[in-house]
Structure 1
Amino acid sequence: MGENADNEQNKLFGGGTSLLQIILVNFGISLTAFVALWAISVKIKNASIVDIFWGPACALPAATTWLQTESHSLRATLITTLVLIWGLRLGLYLGIRNVGHGEDFRYVRMREKAGGDGPFVMRSLTHVFVLQCCISFFVSLPVQIGQFGFSEWLLFPEGELGIIAYLGITIFVIGLLFEAVGDHQLRQFKKNPENKGKLMDRGLWSWTRHPNYFGDAAVWTGLTLVALESQWGFLTILSPLLMIHFLYNLSGKALLERSMSRRYPDYEDYRRRVSGFLPRPPAR
Structure 2
Amino acid sequence: MNLLIAFLLTVLLMSGVWLWQRRSGRADWVDAFWAGSIGALAVFYAVFGDGAVEKRVLVALVAGTWSFRLTRHLAVRLAGHEQEDGRYQAMREHWGERAQFWLFVFFMGQALIAWLFSLPAWVVANDPSPAMNVWVILGVVVWFVSLAGESLADRQLSAFRRDPANRGKVCQVGLWRYSRHPNYFFEWLHWFSYPLIAMGAPFQWLAWLGPVLMLLFLYRVTGIPYTEKQSLKSRGDAYREYQRTTSAFIPWPPKD
Normalization by structure 1: what TM-score? 0.85
Output one character per residue of 1:37-74: Cα deviation in whole Å (capped at 9) or x when no partner. Answer: 11111110111000112221221211111222477521
**Residue in structure 2 matching 1:203, options 174, 194, 200:** 174
Query: Is 1:136 aligned to 2:75, yes or no?
Result: no
Query: Is 1:23 aligned to 2:11, yes or no?
Result: no
Distance 1:210 1:71 in 2: 36
State the partner residue of 1:280: 252
In structure 2, list runs of 5 or more residues that go unmatched: none
Query: Is 1:122 aligned to 2:122, yes or no?
Result: no
Distance 2:195 2:222 in 1: 22
Distance 1:276 1:184 in 2: 19
In structure 1, list runs of 5 or more residues that go unmatched: 1-20, 151-157
1:107 Cα offset (Å): 1.1
Distance 2:64 2:192 in 1: 16
Q: Which residue identity lines up with residue 277 of structure 1 in the other structure? A: F
Normalized per residue, the structure richer in helix is 2
**Residue in structure 2 matching 1:188, options 142, 147, 159:** 159
Query: Map of 1:141-152 to 2, 5 A cutoff?
Result: 141-150=119-128
1:174 Cα offset (Å): 1.6
State the partner residue of 1:259: 230
Distance change (3 Å), C-alpha of 1:71 and 1:242: closer
Q: Which residue identity lines up with residue 245 of structure 2 in the other structure? A: R
Normalization by structure 2: what TM-score? 0.94
State the partner residue of 2:22: 42
Aligned 8 A contact 1:165 1:229 in 2: no
State the partner residue of 2:94: 113
Query: Map of 1:197-236 to 2, 5 A cutoff?
Result: 197-236=168-207
1:123 Cα offset (Å): 1.0
Count how many residue pairs are aligned between Structure 1 and Structure 2. 254
Structure 1 or 2, whichever has the larger Rg, is 1
Aligned 8 A contact 2:139 2:197 in 1: yes
Q: Which residue identity lines up with residue 147 of structure 1 in the other structure? A: A
Query: Map of 1:47-66 to 2, 5 A cutoff?
Result: 47-66=27-46
Output one character per residue of 1:192-245: Cα deviation in whole Å (capped at 9) or x when no partner. Answer: 111111111110101111111111100112223212342222233233201111
Instruction: Give me the CA root mean square deviation.
Output: 1.6
